[in-house]
Structure 1
Amino acid sequence: MSLWSTYRSLTPKTRALFGVGVMAWATIGLWTTPQVENALGMQASPSEKEELDRQLAVRISRVGGDGKSDERAH
């Protein structure tokens, strides 16, 4: 029996409780992550955060065209 069919065979109340439990577990994990990182010494330094922000920055560049504004758009 597959995982999906096993899940579907549960009663609706049990599936709802399972979903609420998964959401609660995720919320607790997101809420406690900073404290766990600090306790394990895994907190990023400000320079590491800046480097990550720089690497994840979205760069937009125009492709094609002759560099003039498109007068048909006005």
Structure 2
Amino acid sequence: MSLWSTYRSLTPKTRALFGVGVMAWAAIGLWTSPQVESALGMQATKEEQEALDRQMAVRISRAEGDDHKGSQSR
């Protein structure tokens, strides 16, 4: 039996509780990760964080195209 079919065979209430449990586990992980990182000495320096922010920044550029597209010029 596959994992998906096993999940689907659970009662709706059990599936809902499982989903809430997974979301709670993720929330706890997001909430505690800064404390764990600083305790293990893995926290980024300000310079490293700024460099990462520059690399992850979204760059938007305008593509040049035909200005008369869709219009009929005579």
TM-score where L is the length of structure 1: 0.82
| TM value normalised by structure 2 | 0.82
- Moved segments of 4+, more than 6 Å: none
Q: Which residue of 2 aligns with 1:29?
A: 29
Match of 1:38 in 2: 38
* 2:50 alignment counterpart: 50
Query: Could you tell me which amino acid in structure 1 is paired with residue 20 of structure 2?
Result: V
Q: 2-side partners of 1:16 and 1:60: how far apart?
A: 40
Quick one: distance in 2 between partners of 1:29 and 1:64? Answer: 45
Which ranges of structure 1 fall in alignment gaps of 5 or more residues?
66-71
Structure 2 unaligned runs (5+)?
A: 66-70
Identity of aligned residues (%): 82
RMSD across aligned C-alpha pairs, in angstroms?
1.7
Match of 2:12 in 1: 12
Aligned length: 67
Deviations 1:31-61 (A, max 9, x none): 0000000010000000000100111112222
What is the rounded CA distance, in whole Å, between the counterparts of 1:62 and 1:13 in structure 2? Answer: 50
Which residue number in structure 1 is paired with residue 68 of structure 2? none
